[in-house]
DNA sequence: AGGCAATACTG
DNA sequence: CAGTAT
DNA sequence: GCCT
């Protein structure tokens, strides 16, 4: 083992030196001159600069091209044809060891693939004792079982052993690199040299001796069998807008060198490192926090199909998609955002981001568990709520609503729904309510609620709250504040004797937590607090350039409350797509992006992964943070076929009422499009008897037009 | 009296 | 399939 | 709970 390190490092320095003497910059040398993240002072670092493994691998590939152009390495290319994903256990920055090993792989004819992509790689090579869970996270895998059988997972020692035992050190003519890829054998050029010859290459049982994980001892030895979880076929959109979707047969097919994932070439081949793009994110030069979606790529990305492109588009709406069209527009947007922050603040108005969550949580969470009522804690606005003429009423109803959320019955469910609606209506009601009749006249306020309103107005109190507010309800609400815990689980825990979060932490009553719930518990207060808008902007501004470095043509937008201009956000929703007009798609991008974000420590935990990364339509949920001293924040990534981007934006930035309106008009709106003629089974609403016809999906505009909704700026989209 | 959005992941 | 989440 |  120590010998392997020695070899690797020796090779590093020798190859660097060789390249340097040619007067070319090596990858390592380039790395040294690269500006470093967060070096705002601009002072140069004396020590070597930090580079992520991805970047390092990318540069190595560049250097490889140079070398090929100039002259050949005299090292034996016994790794030719091996496309190796190397896992060094170093997340943030590539260590010396990692760099050395990557250099070594390249030098011996192998290809270093910067990200785990089962369609591309032939081998996974790791350190001697790779930590399993970090490895899985980095690859966005739920378990090792998801790695295809034809890809061996071996330790570095496997590479070294191949070097020392190789039979024929002479470089083969080396025409083809990929064909022998799956045989996985660095032990001599045997496999490659027989190549397409008569007998199949000998199986390399030595793989087992170097297996990185015992779970995968025989990986690479058994024939290729996809273990990908089968996923029910998704419905093609009826309007046939979905030309870009990959068919199931395609996606299940065996990896093939020529047609790898559409964008992988950006990662595999020449990656222009673009320091400035990648690292500028925390210099203040990129977006200010009020200008969603701005970047130097924005204009290209619009590509003739802007999301909200239309003549009716207001200045501000263009701003959102194309800020650079009008420099003043950004101020306009900012002004409105601030104004809204002042007026509506506290989020309480949108149904998407109920701030409440486990109220009463304050009792159990010593930390800064927020008084969700106000949903602040972090933001900048001094003057919080008030402004609503009936704020006291709203507060009481909200409190009652939360109490009902702890109940199991479907009835209470709908009760909550109704309170929600009434509260939203009250929030936008301009004047102080004076009578029962006046209250009743408000849409969403019925007899019962009107009575309650009067009681609050007259007594300043709601007796109902007092007698609903019992110990069990309080505890259950606290538990429900844990991500992944709903009313049933919370109820169960209560029944098992848990009363506080500490009880849960102690697993009182023998309760069990899913992995997701453990994360939810660990970061209870983080997750239940909102972030200032500026933090969401910072995070998005870090992520966007990274995504664009994977594929510059990506369409990437932030949605949700941020896009609606809120002053604080409960989470970050990011939409990713890609115009397919050059025959490529964003297929495969998400996994790479996630891996890179994990490496950089931006993503910290996964909450749920898509069933398969092969589709164009994916959902990811996780936690992220801006830097090591920030709180964890909820983040979602959604990818959709390009033709659905309008529907997706609408779906995730508008609220429920739009979907309701669509229903009333006989349409059905989902994240893929607006459909007409959907017929559902009356007894089972979830079953579609007829999928209907898609009538719109590309832009928000066309959908809104059909629904008869006047264009609204995202930040105006509170209610239908 | 019946609807109240629609859909994906987890175990 | 039930539970949870968006 | 409210609405149709």
Q: Which residue has the higher pLDDT, A450 or A276?
A: A450
Question: What is the separation, in whole angstroms, between the first and last Cα of chain A?
Answer: 65
Average pLDDT over residues A479-497: 98
Per-residue pLDDT, A580: 97
The residue among A221, A155, A192 whose CA lies nearest residue A4 is A155
Per-residue pLDDT, A358: 33
Sequence-ordered alpha helix ranges (H) in A642-691:
645-653, 656-664
CA distances from A555 to A197, A316, A321, A543, A670 (A): 45, 19, 10, 13, 20
Per-residue pLDDT, A26: 37
Distance CA A656 to C1' B8 in A: 18
Average pLDDT over residues A486-498: 97
Residue A71 pLDDT class (50, 70, 90 cuts): low
Give me the A residues in range 158-177 that sit within 7 A (CB) of strand C.
Answer: none
Q: pLDDT tens digit string along A242-279?
A: 434 333 333 333 333 333 332 233 333 322 333 333 33
Nearest nucleotide, CA A404 to C1': D1
Average pLDDT over residues A15-32: 36
Mean pLDDT, chain A, whole residue set:
73
Per-residue pLDDT, A58: 78
Nearest nucleotide, CA A657 to C1': B5
pLDDT exceeds cutoff 50 at A462:
yes
Average pLDDT over residues A41-63: 67
Q: With left for phi above 0 and alpha for psi between -120 and 50, is residue A693 left, alpha or beta?
A: beta
Segment (H or E) for A532: strand A531-532
Per-residue pLDDT, A662: 92
Strand A688-690 and strand A679-680: the pairing is antiparallel
Residue A654 pLDDT class (50, 70, 90 cuts): confident
Average pLDDT over residues A481-494: 98
Distance CA A620 to C1' B8 in A: 10
Q: Which residue has the higher pLDDT, A625 or A68?
A: A625
Residue A668 DSSP symbol: E
Distance CA A413 to C1' D2 in A: 13
**Cα angle A669, A671, A675; round to 5:** 35
Strand C closer than 7 A to residue A487 Cβ: yes
Nearest nucleotide, CA A411 to C1': D1
Strand A568-569 and strand A688-690: the pairing is unpaired
Nearest nucleotide, CA A449 to C1': D1
Report the protein residue whose CA lies nearest the C1' of nucleotide C5. A484
Residue A147 pLDDT class (50, 70, 90 cuts): very high
pLDDT exceeds cutoff 70 at A525:
yes
Average pLDDT over residues A114-121: 93
pLDDT exceeds cutoff 50 at A361:
no
pLDDT exceeds cutoff 60 at A582:
yes
**Secondary structure class of A402 (helix, strand, coil):** helix
The residue among A665, A614, A662, A670 whose CA lies nearest residue A646 is A670
Report the protein residue whose CA lies nearest the C1' of nucleotide B11. A514
Nearest nucleotide, CA A486 to C1': C4
Give me the A residues in range 320-339 that sit within 7 A (CB) of strand C.
Answer: none
Q: Give the least confident one: A217-231, A401-415, A671-685.
A: A217-231
pTM of the model: 0.76
Give me the A residues in range 604-623 that sit within 7 A (CB) of strand C.
Answer: 621
Report the protein residue whose CA lies nearest the C1' of nucleotide C2. A488
Segment (H or E) for A699: none
Distance CA A107 to C1' B6 in A: 53
Average pLDDT over residues A70-92: 82
Per-residue pLDDT, A257: 35
Distance CA A689 to C1' C3 in A: 25
Per-residue pLDDT, A222: 64
Two tokens at A481?
A: 């504040």
Print the SS3 string covering A571-582. Answer: EEEEEEECCCCC
Distance CA A482 to C1' D1 in A: 26
Per-residue pLDDT, A179: 37
Per-residue pLDDT, A483: 98
The residue among A135, A115, A99 whose CA lies nearest residue A216 is A135
The residue among A662, A684, A664, A688 whose CA lies nearest residue A675 is A662
Q: Looking at strand C, which nucleotides approach a protein CB closer than 7 A?
A: 2-6
Strand C closer than 7 A to residue A652 Cβ: yes
* Nearest-10 crossing angle of helices A700-707, A656-664: 50
Per-residue pLDDT, A329: 30
Q: pLDDT tens digit string along A583-637?
A: 999 999 999 999 999 999 999 999 999 999 999 999 999 999 999 999 999 999 9
Per-residue pLDDT, A425: 93
Distance CA A487 to C1' B1 in A: 27
Residue A325 DSSP symbol: G
Q: pLDDT tens digit string along A661-716?
A: 999 999 999 999 999 999 888 888 888 888 899 999 999 999 999 998 888 888 77
Per-residue pLDDT, A254: 37
Nearest nucleotide, CA A357 to C1': C5
Report the protein residue whose CA lies nearest the C1' of nucleotide D3. A444
Task: Name the residues contacting strand B (CB < 7 Å).
Answer: A 142, 231, 234, 414, 417-418, 514-516, 608-611, 617-619, 656, 659-660, 663, 668-672, 678, 680, 682, 685-686, 688
Distance CA A387 to C1' D4 in A: 33
Strand C closer than 7 A to residue A180 Cβ: no
pLDDT exceeds cutoff 50 at A379:
no
Strand C closer than 7 A to residue A483 Cβ: yes
CA–CA gap between residue A710 and residue A718 (Å, rounded): 13
Per-residue pLDDT, A545: 98
Residues in CB range of A90: below 8 A, 6 or more apart: A53, A97, A98
Q: Looking at strand D, which nucleotides approach a protein CB closer than 7 A?
A: 1-3
CA–CA gap between residue A282 and residue A280 (Å, rounded): 6
Report the protein residue whose CA lies nearest the C1' of nucleotide B9. A608
Nearest nucleotide, CA A516 to C1': B10
Per-residue pLDDT, A52: 80
**E strand segments, A565-710:** 568-569, 571-577, 603-608, 618-624, 633-639, 667-670, 673-676, 679-680, 688-690, 693-696
Q: Which residue has the tokens 């697993």?
A: A507
Strand C closer than 7 A to residue A131 Cβ: no
Report the protein residue whose CA lies nearest the C1' of nucleotide B5. A659
Distance CA A370 to C1' C4 in A: 23
pLDDT exceeds cutoff 90 at A66:
no
Distance CA A411 to C1' B1 in A: 15
DSSP string of A219-244, one letter each residue? TTTSPP---PPP-PPPPPPTTS--TT
Distance CA A241 to C1' D2 in A: 38
Per-residue pLDDT, A65: 73
Q: How far is CA A290 from the centre of its chain?
A: 21
Q: Looking at strand B, which nucleotides approach a protein CB closer than 7 A?
A: 3-11
Per-residue pLDDT, A187: 52
Strand A123-126 and strand A83-87: the pairing is parallel
Per-residue pLDDT, A671: 92
Nearest nucleotide, CA A571 to C1': C6
- Are A482 and A419 in contact by the 8 Å Cβ rule? The answer is no
Tell me the domains of chain A and their CATH numbers: 53-161 (3.40.50.10190), 391-469 (1.10.150.110), 472-528 (1.10.150.20), 529-639 (3.30.460.10), 650-719 (3.30.210.10)
The residues of A carrying an active-site annotation are 452
Distance CA A603 to C1' B10 in A: 20
Give me the A residues in range 348-387 that sit within 7 A (CB) of strand C.
Answer: 352
Per the document, the length of chain A is: 720
Residues in CB range of A577: below 8 A, 6 or more apart: A554, A555, A556, A586, A639, A640, A641, A642, A644, A645, A648
Report the protein residue whose CA lies nearest the C1' of nucleotide B8. A619
Sequence-ordered alpha helix ranges (H) in A406-523:
410-427, 436-440, 447-459, 463-468, 471-480, 487-495, 501-505, 515-522
Nearest nucleotide, CA A419 to C1': D1
């Amino acid at each position: 083992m120590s010998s392997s390190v020695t070899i690797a490092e020796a090779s590093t320095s020798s190859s660097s030196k060789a390249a340097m003497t040619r007067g070319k910059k090596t990858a390592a040398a380039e790395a040294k001159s690269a500006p470093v993240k967060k070096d705002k002072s601009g002072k140069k670092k004396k020590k070597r600069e930090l580079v992520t493994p991805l970047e390092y691998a990318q540069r190595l590939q560049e250097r490889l091209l140079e070398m090929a152009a100039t002259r050949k390495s005299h090292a034996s290319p016994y790794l030719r044809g091996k496309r190796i994903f190397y896992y060094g256990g170093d997340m943030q920055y590539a260590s010396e060891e990692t760099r050395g090993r990557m250099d070594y792989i390249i030098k011996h004819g192998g290809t270093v693939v910067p990200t785990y992509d089962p369609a591309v790689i032939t081998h996974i090579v790791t350190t001697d004792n790779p930590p399993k869970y970090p490895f899985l996270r980095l690859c966005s895998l739920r378990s090792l079982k998801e790695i295809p059988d034809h890809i061996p997972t071996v330790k570095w020692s496997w590479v070294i052993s191949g070097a020392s035992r190789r039979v024929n050190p002479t470089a083969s003519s080396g025409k083809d690199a990929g064909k022998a890829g799956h045989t996985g054998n660095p032990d001599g050029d045997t496999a490659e040299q027989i190549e397409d010859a008569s007998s199949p290459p000998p199986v390399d049982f030595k793989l087992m001796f170097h297996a990185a994980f015992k779970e995968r001892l025989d990986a690479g030895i058994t024939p290729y069998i996809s273990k990908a979880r089968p996923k029910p076929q998704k419905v093609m959109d009826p309007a046939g807008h979905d030309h870009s979707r990959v068919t199931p047969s395609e996606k299940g097919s065996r990896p093939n060198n020529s047609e790898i994932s559409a964008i992988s070439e950006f990662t595999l081949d020449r990656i222009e490192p673009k320091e400035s793009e990648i690292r500028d994110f925390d210099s203040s030069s990129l977006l200010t926090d009020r200008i969603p979606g701005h970047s130097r790529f924005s204009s290209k990305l619009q590509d003739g199909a802007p999301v909200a492109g239309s003549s009716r588009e207001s200045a501000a709406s263009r701003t959102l998609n194309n800020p650079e069209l009008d420099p003043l527009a950004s101020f306009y947007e900012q002004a409105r955002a601030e104004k809204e922050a002042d007026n509506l603040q506290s989020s309480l108005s949108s149904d998407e981001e109920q701030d409440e969550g486990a109220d009463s949580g304050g009792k159990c969470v010593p930390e800064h568990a927020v008084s969700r009522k106000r949903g602040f804690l972090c933001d900048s606005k001094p003057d919080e709520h008030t402004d609503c003429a009936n704020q006291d009423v709203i507060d009481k109803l909200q409190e009652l609503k939360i109490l009902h959320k702890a109940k199991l019955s479907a009835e209470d469910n709908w009760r909550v729904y109704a309170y929600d609606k009434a509260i939203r209506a009250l929030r936008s009601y301009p004047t102080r309510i004076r009578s029962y009749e006046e209250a009743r006249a408000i849409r969403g306020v019925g007899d019962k609620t009107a009575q309650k309103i009067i009681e609050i107005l007259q007594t300043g109190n709601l007796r109902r709250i007092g007698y609903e507010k019992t110990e069990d309800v309080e505890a259950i609400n606290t538990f429900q504040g844990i991500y992944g815990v709903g009313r049933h689980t919370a109820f169960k825990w209560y029944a098992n004797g848990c009363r506080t979060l500490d009880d849960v932490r102690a697993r009182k009553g023998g309760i069990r937590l899913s992995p997701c719930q453990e994360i939810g518990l660990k970061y209870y207060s983080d997750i239940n607090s909102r972030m200032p808008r500026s933090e969401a902007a910072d995070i998005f501004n870090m992520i966007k350039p990274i995504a664009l470095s994977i594929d510059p043509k990506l369409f990437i937008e932030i949605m949700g409350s941020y896009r609606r201009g809120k002053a604080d956000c409960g989470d970050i929703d990011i939409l990713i797509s890609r115009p397919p007009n050059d025959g490529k798609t964003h297929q495969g991008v998400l996994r790479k992006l996630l891996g890179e974000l994990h490496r950089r420590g931006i993503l910290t935990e996964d909450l749920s992964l898509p069933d398969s990364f092969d589709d164009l339509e994916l959902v990811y949920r996780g936690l992220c943070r801006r830097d090591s001293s920030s709180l964890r924040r909820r983040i979602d990534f959604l990818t959709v076929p390009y033709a659905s981007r309008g529907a997706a934006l609408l779906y995730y930035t508008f609220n429920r009422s739009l979907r309701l309106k669509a229903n009333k008009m006989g349409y059905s709106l989902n994240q893929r499009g607006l459909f007409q003629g959907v017929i559902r089974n009356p007894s089972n609403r979830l079953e579609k008897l007829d999928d209907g016809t898609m009538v719109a999906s590309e832009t928000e505009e066309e959908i809104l037009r059909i629904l008869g909704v006047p264009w609204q700026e995202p930040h105006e989209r509170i209610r239908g």
